[in-house]
Amino acid sequence: MKYVIIGNSAAGIAAAEEIRARDKEGEVVILSDEKYPVYGRPLISYYLLGATDRERMNYRSPDFYEKNNFSFRPGTRAEKIDAQAKEVLLSGGEKVKYDKLLVATGSRPFTPPIAGLEKVKKRFSFMTLDDALSLEKALAGKKKRVFILGAGLIGLKCLEGIADRANGVAVADMAGHILPSILDEAGAAVVQRTLGAHGAEFYLNDSVAEFEENAALLKSGKRVPFDVLVTAVGVRPNTELVKEAGGQVRRGIVIDDHMRTSLPDVYAAGDCTESRDIVSGEYRILALLPNARFQGRCAGADMAGGDEAFDTAFAMNAIGFFGTRVLTAGCYAGEEYTEAEGDTYKKLFIGDNVLNGFILVNESECAGIYTDLIRRRTPLSEVDFALLEKAPQLRAFSAKARAGMLAKEV
Amino acid sequence: MKRIYVNEKWCLGCHLCEYECAFANSGLTDMVRALKGKTIHPRIRVEDGEEIHFAVSCRHCKDALCVQSCISGALTKDESGMVRIDREKCVGCLTCVLVCPYGAIMPAPDGHAAQKCMLCTDNLCGEPNCVKHCPNNAIVYEER
C-alpha cells in the first residue's frame, strides 16, 4: 500500500502516525512545500517572543521520519492531482503514484486589494516559520515601527511576539473590537488593556484606504507611519488541488465523517477542509490545531483500512497575551450568563438544555469541564448547572457520572 | 497501567494530598521549608461538596485529548501509557487546560507552562506521594 500525504503540519503528521500505527509496511510519502521538519506552527509568535527556540519548536524528535520509515520530501510542492491515474504531479515534474492520498494543505494568508499595497517593501504575513524568520530579520537593529493590519488571532499573536522589540505597534481592524471571531466587546476590552500596556495602539472601526511605502492612510483620515507592515486580515483554505481534480469544494474541501473527499481514495484534513460544527450544525472551516489533529488521525485510520469517524468538531481557542488568558469554545448563541470583575470575565452561552459556548478571560481553571459539556452536548438537566455556572467542577455531576470519569480507566 | 483512583466514600476532604503533592514536587526534602508560608500549586485538586469530597488528578486517558490538542508537542503518551509533559517544550498556551474534561491539568505557578500529575516519576518520590500519605486510603494506585 502506498500512502501520499500532502502537507507536513498537524493534520498530515497525525495521519502519518496513525497510518504507521496500523500499517507497519506501507510506504508513506510526506510532501511539504516548506523546508523544515514538522514544527508547532502556532509557536511562531512564541519564537519571536523568546518563549521557545528553533529546537524546541520541533513537534517531533529529530529521528521522527527515519524511525517511522516515512519518506519525507521537504521543499516539494504538489502541483496537481490526477484522480484517475492516482498520481500527484510534483514541482519539478516528477509524478508520484498513490493508493491512498491525503490532502492536508492548510491555508494561506489572504489580503484584499488595497491601493498602494505593492509600494510597501517591508511587508510580511504571519503564518509560517519562514514568515517569522523574515519578520525577525526585518526587526533587527534599530527598533522599528510596526503596523499590523488585522486584530484577529494571527495579528495579535504577532503583536505579542514583537511588541517589546518594536518601536511601537499599531493595529487596524474594520471590527469594532479586537479578536472579533472569539470575543465579545467586554472580553476584548480586557485583552486590549493588556496589549495597550505594552504600547500597542489600536485603530478599530477603521481600515486602510491607501498605503504609501511607509505609511497607512486610514479611511478615518488618520495617517499612521510605519517601517514594517504585517498583513493578517484573513486566510483562505488551499482547496485548489482537489477542486482542479474535480473534487467537491465549497469554502473548504468537502469531506464526510471519515475525512473522505468526493474523489475516490482521496482524503482531506485540517485547515483546508470544512467541518460540521456540532454546536451550530453548520458546515464551516474550523482552522484549529486540535481539529486538524483529530481529522488527520481519523483520515490516517481510514486510509489504512480502519473505520473511524470524527464527528465532534467545534470551535475552541486558547490564546494568551502577556499573561492575560483567553479560553473560548463553541458558538455564542443562547441565553447568557455573565460574571465580570476587574480583569476577569466569564460568559456562558446556554442553549436548549445544552451549553453552546463560553468566553473565559483570566478564568482558566478547569475550563475543560465546560468544553466537555459542549463536546458531549450533555443535557444540562443531568448536571447541577447552577453550580457549574459559578465554576466548572465535577461535583456538579451525578455520583454515577462521576464514577464513570474517576473510578475507572478512561 | 496503574493509575490513581479516589474512593469518594472514603475521602475526608482533608486536602492533605494537595500538600503532599506540592511537597513532592517542590524538589526539597524538608516539608516545612517546602510549604511554610507558601501558596501551594498542587497537581491534584480536591473538590468539596456538602456531603462529598474527592480528589482529582490526571486520568492518563487512553486517548488523551490534551496530547492530541497540544500545539507544541510537549504532551506525549509514553510506552507505559502515562501522559507526560515536557516543560521545556511547553509554551503555556493552555490548550490542554481548555480540553481536559477533568480539570486535571493546570497552569504551572511560573505561568510559562502547564503542569500535571506524572505519578511522581518526575520527582524524588518515585511513587505517588498523594497515595502514600492519604490518611484514609481513599486514594489508591492500582490497575483497574
d(CA A210, CA B42): 54
Whether A333 is in a domain gets the answer yes
Q: Measured between CA atoms, how close is A319 to chain B, in angstroms?
A: 6
- pLDDT for A339: 97
- pLDDT for B90: 97
User: Is B106 an 8 Å CB contact of chain A?
Assistant: yes
Place of cell 529521528: A63
Whether A313 is in a domain gets the answer no
Picking from A234, A262, A287, the residue at the C-terminal end of a domain is A234
Instruction: Please name the member of A297, A329, A364 whose beta carbon is closest to the beta carbon of B94.
Output: A364
Whether B45 is in a domain gets the answer yes
Region A78-90 average pLDDT = 98
- pLDDT for B126: 87
Residues of A in contact with B6 (CB under 8 A): 406-407
Mean confidence (pLDDT) of chain A: 97
User: Is A309 an 8 Å CB contact of chain B?
Assistant: no
- pLDDT for B5: 96
Whether A308 is in a domain gets the answer no
Residue A227 has pLDDT above 90, yes or no: yes
Whether A389 is in a domain gets the answer yes
Residue B2 has pLDDT above 90, yes or no: yes
Burial level of A315, CB count in 10 A (0-12/13-18/19+)?
buried
Q: What's the number of domains chain B is made of?
A: 2
Q: Which three cell numbers stand for residue A320?
A: 494568551
Residue B51 has pLDDT above 90, yes or no: no
Q: What's the number of domains chain A is made of?
A: 3
- pLDDT for B111: 81
Beta strands in A20-179 (DSSP E): 27-31, 70-73, 78-82, 87-90, 95-97, 100-103, 107-110, 123-124, 146-149, 169-173
Which of the four pLDDT bands, split at 50, 70 and 90, describes residue B110?
Answer: confident
Which of the four pLDDT bands, split at 50, 70 and 90, describes residue B50?
Answer: confident
Whether B121 is in a domain gets the answer no
Which of the four pLDDT bands, split at 50, 70 and 90, describes residue B138?
Answer: very high
Strands A344-350 and A100-103: unpaired
Whether B47 is in a domain gets the answer yes
Region A102-128 average pLDDT = 97
Residue A124 sits in the same domain as residue A229: yes
Residue B51 sits in the same domain as residue B66: no
Q: Is the ipTM of this complex over 0.90?
A: yes
User: Is B95 an 8 Å CB contact of chain A?
Assistant: yes
Secondary-structure breakdown of chain B: helix, strand, coil percentages, each rounded to the nearest 5: 20, 20, 60
Whether B82 is in a domain gets the answer yes
Residue B3 has pLDDT above 90, yes or no: yes
Whether A281 is in a domain gets the answer yes
Whether B110 is in a domain gets the answer yes
Whether B122 is in a domain gets the answer no
Which of the four pLDDT bands, split at 50, 70 and 90, describes residue A235?
Answer: very high
Whether A315 is in a domain gets the answer no
CA distances from B34 to B29, B37, B46 (A): 8, 9, 20
What is the four-CA torsion angle of A355, A357, A363, A368, rounded to 10 degrees? 70
Residue A341 sits in the same domain as residue A283: no
Amino acid residing at A286: L
User: Is A293 an 8 Å CB contact of chain B?
Assistant: yes
Residue A202 sits in the same domain as residue A115: yes
Mean confidence (pLDDT) of chain B: 95
User: Is A390 an 8 Å CB contact of chain B?
Assistant: no
Give chain B's count of helices (H) and strands (E): 5, 8
Q: What pLDDT, in 10s, does the model give residues A270-319?
A: 999 999 999 999 999 999 999 999 999 999 999 999 999 999 999 999 99
- For the domain that residue A398 is a member of, what is the CATH number? 3.30.390.30
Residue A7 sits in the same domain as residue A87: yes
The gap between the terminal CA atoms of chain A, to the nearest Å, is 33
Quick check: B5 and B138 in contact, CB under 8 A? no
Residue A171 has pLDDT above 90, yes or no: yes
Residue A244 sits in the same domain as residue A182: no
Residue B92 sits in the same domain as residue B107: yes
Residue A138 sits in the same domain as residue A119: yes
Whether B37 is in a domain gets the answer yes
Residue A340 sits in the same domain as residue A383: yes
Whether A343 is in a domain gets the answer yes
Q: What pLDDT, in 10s, does the model give residues B13-43?
A: 999 999 999 999 999 999 999 999 999 999 9
- For the domain that residue A228 is a member of, what is the CATH number? 3.50.50.60
Residue A294 sits in the same domain as residue A373: no
H or E element in which residue A138 lies: helix A129-139
Residue A118 sits in the same domain as residue A214: yes
Picking from A200, A234, A268, the residue at the C-terminal end of a domain is A234
Structural domain range at position B26: 1-57+127-144
Structural domain range at position A377: 323-406
Residue A107 has pLDDT above 90, yes or no: yes
- pLDDT for A57: 97
Residue B64 sits in the same domain as residue B90: yes
